[in-house]
Amino acid sequence: MTSETSAASASAIRLNRLRAGVLGANDGIVSVAAVVVGVAGATPQIAPIIAAGVAAVVGGAISMALGEYVSVSSGRDSTAAAIVRERRDLAEQPDEELRELTAYYESRGVSADTAERIATELTEADALTAHLQSEFNIDQRDVASPWHAAWVSGLAFTLGALLPMIAILLPPESIRIPVTFVAVLVGLGLTGALGARFGGSPMLRPTLRVLLGGALALGITFGIGTLLGASGAV
């Protein structure tokens, strides 16, 4: 792999991590906002709102971190198994692997002679890397750490969750709900736009989707909380 390709790969990884962080923050905003707004709709007392909000922050962050850890660990295990399998095949049947790599480049539109030359040169340089990239699109240097992914996901969720917690706790009771709605929608607009930017897509449609989803979540949970409070169920 050339230095230019390696730099491009590293840049893509950083962008994907940033985008994942933004999406984690978005989840923190929506899920915790829905909880605190729902409770606030049921009761004006601040203690239940704080208790529910803190529980949502802690539980959500742990859930996000655990889910990311399991997901990345599974991917890492699959990658490790592919590396072991490919290393064994290269040791036991190098000629067959060379033909396989040649066939791969032929399938990409390269002439037979050129494909054989490319496959031979790549095999001589680093056979394992060449096969992992062509067969599995794997770069050994790009394998993510499950622990790193877990704490980044949990931290991003927590940072996002702070917005609705602050918005619901600081204002007076009379404007608590509208302030939270506005703060959450502003936060979601920012995360939606950033997520779209890091993903390389136009900003308007993804941002509107996030805003609509957040507004629906807040409206529904507030409505349910209000109904429960009015019925005397809570």
As a whole number of angstroms, the distance between CA 95 and CA 223 comes to: 68
Domain that holds residue 164: 29-231
- Residue range 149-172: average pLDDT? 92
Residue 194 resides in a domain = yes
Under the banding of pLDDT at 50, 70 and 90, the label for residue 163 is: very high
Mean local confidence (pLDDT), 191-206: 81
Is pLDDT above 90 for 135?
no
**Residue 166 pLDDT class (50, 70, 90 cuts):** very high
Q: Is residue 195 part of a domain?
A: yes
Whether 183 maps to a domain, the answer reads yes
The predicted pLDDT at position 45 comes to: 92
pLDDT at 152 over 50: yes
Position 4 pLDDT exceeds 50: no
In a domain, 17, yes or no: no
In this predicted structure, the answer to whether residue 233 has a pLDDT above a threshold of 70 is: no
Q: Is 104 a member of any domain?
A: yes
In the predicted structure, residue 130 carries a pLDDT above the cut 90: no
- Please report the pLDDT score of residue 137 as a whole number: 74
* pLDDT confidence tier of residue 170, bands split at 50, 70 and 90: very high
In this structure, what token pair is assigned to residue 222? 């507030």
Print burial letters for 131-152: b (CB count within 10 Å at least 16), e (below 16): bbbbbeebbeeeebebeebbeb
Nearest-angstrom CA–CA distance, 91 and 97: 9
The mean predicted confidence, pLDDT, of the chain is: 85
Q: Mind giving me the DSSP string for 64-119?
A: HHHHHHHHHHHHHHHHHHHHHHHHHHHHH-HHHHHHHHHHHHHHTT--HHHHHHHH
In a domain, 218, yes or no: yes
Q: Among residues 136, 127, 65, 67, which one has the least CA distance to residue 95?
A: 127
Tell me the pTM: 0.76
Q: Using 50, 70 and 90 to split pLDDT, how confident is the model at 1? A: very low
* pLDDT attached to residue 13: 58
Q: Please say whether the beta carbons of 35 and 56 come within 8 A.
A: yes
In a domain, 14, yes or no: no
Whether residue 16 lies inside any domain: the answer is no
CA distances from 206 to 197, 199, 210 (A): 10, 10, 6
In this prediction, residue 2 has a pLDDT band, given cuts at 50, 70 and 90, of very low
- pLDDT(145) > 80: no
pLDDT band with cut points at 50, 70 and 90 for residue 95: confident
d(CA 69, CA 153): 9
What are the tens digits of pLDDT across the range 36-60? 999 999 999 999 999 999 999 999 9
- Among left, alpha and beta (phi > 0; psi -120 to 50; other), residue 200 is left
Check pLDDT > 60 for residue 3. no
**In the chain, how many domains are there?**
1
Residue 7: its H or E element: helix 3-42
**pLDDT (mean) for 150-178:** 93
